[in-house]
A and B are shown apart, each in its own frame.
Chain A
Amino acid sequence: DAGVTQSPTHLIKTRGQQVTLRCSPISGHKSVSWYQQVLGQGPQFIFQYYEKEERGRGNFPDRFSARQFPNYSSELNVNALLLGDSALYLCASSSRGAQGTDTQYFGPGTRLTVL
C-alpha cells in the first residue's frame, strides 16, 4: 500500500507570492494534519482535518489555510510568503483524527524555500 504522498518535493518562491502544497493520505485514513519543520526544530502543528472539517489549528497566522477534499486529500495554502516561511512542510495521516488518539504517519515533506 502506498504511504502518504506529497507534492511537490521542492519549491522555490519569492517573498509575497502564494504557494499550494498537496497531500494524499494513506488509503482508508480520513484525517490529515499539516506540520511545519524549520531546521533544528521538531515539527510544529499547523492544521488538522478530519472528514473534511477543520478539527484543530496551531499558532499560525491567517496567511495559512487548508482544506480537505471528499477523497480525503488535502491542500495547504500560504499567502504573502515571508522569508521565515522557508521550512519543510509535512503532511501526516491517521485513521481516527480527533476522535481518539491515534498514530500519525508522515509523508516525505515539501521543502519550501522563500527568497
Chain B
Amino acid sequence: DQQVKQNSPSLSVQEGRISILNCDYTNSMFDYFLWYKKYPAEGPTFLISISSIKDKNEDGRFTVFLNKSAKHLSLHIVPSQPGDSAVYFCAATGRASGNQFYFGTGTSLTVIP
C-alpha cells in the first residue's frame, strides 16, 4: 500500500529554469512532510520540510508547497543548477504513524547545462 506517491520517475530541466517535483499522499493523518535529495552511493540528504499548519516554506532556491485538501505537495527549485541533478524523495509522517516515515519512489532530476 503506497501511501506516498511520486508519479514522475524522471524530469529534465534547463539550467536557470524552474524545476517542479510533485508528490501525492493518501493518509490524511500525515502532518509533517519532507524532501530529501540523494546522490548515487550516498544516503538521502535532508532538503526542506513543511508542517501541515503551513502551506508554503522557503529556503533559498527551494520552496515546498502543501495543498492539504488535494493531499499534494510540490518542491520548486529556482533557478535550477547542474549540481541539483539527483534523485529527490518526498516523505510523510505524523504522530498517528508513530513518526514512521513513508517515502515516495523518487524522481530523478537532470539539470542540463
On chain A, the residues within 8 Å of B44 by CB distance are 43, 90, 106
Q: Known contacts being A101-B31, A103-B49, is A43 close to B89, with CB within 8 Å?
A: yes
Size category of the B interface is 20 to 34
Cα-based distance from A96 to B41 in the complex (angstroms): 27
- Interface residues on chain A, number (Cβ under 8 Å): 32
When the two chains form their complex, are residues B32 and A56 in contact, meaning their CB atoms are under 8 A apart? no
Most chain A beta carbons < 10 A, residue from B94, B95, B99, B103: B99
CB-based contact A56/B103 at 8 Å: no
**B64 adjacent to chain A (CB < 8 Å):** no
Contacts A101-B32, A109-B43 known; 19 new A-B pairs at CB < 8 A:
A31-B99, A33-B101, A40-B105, A41-B106, A42-B103, A43-B44, A43-B101, A48-B99, A96-B99, A99-B99, A100-B95, A101-B95, A106-B36, A106-B43, A106-B44, A106-B46, A108-B42, A108-B43, A109-B42
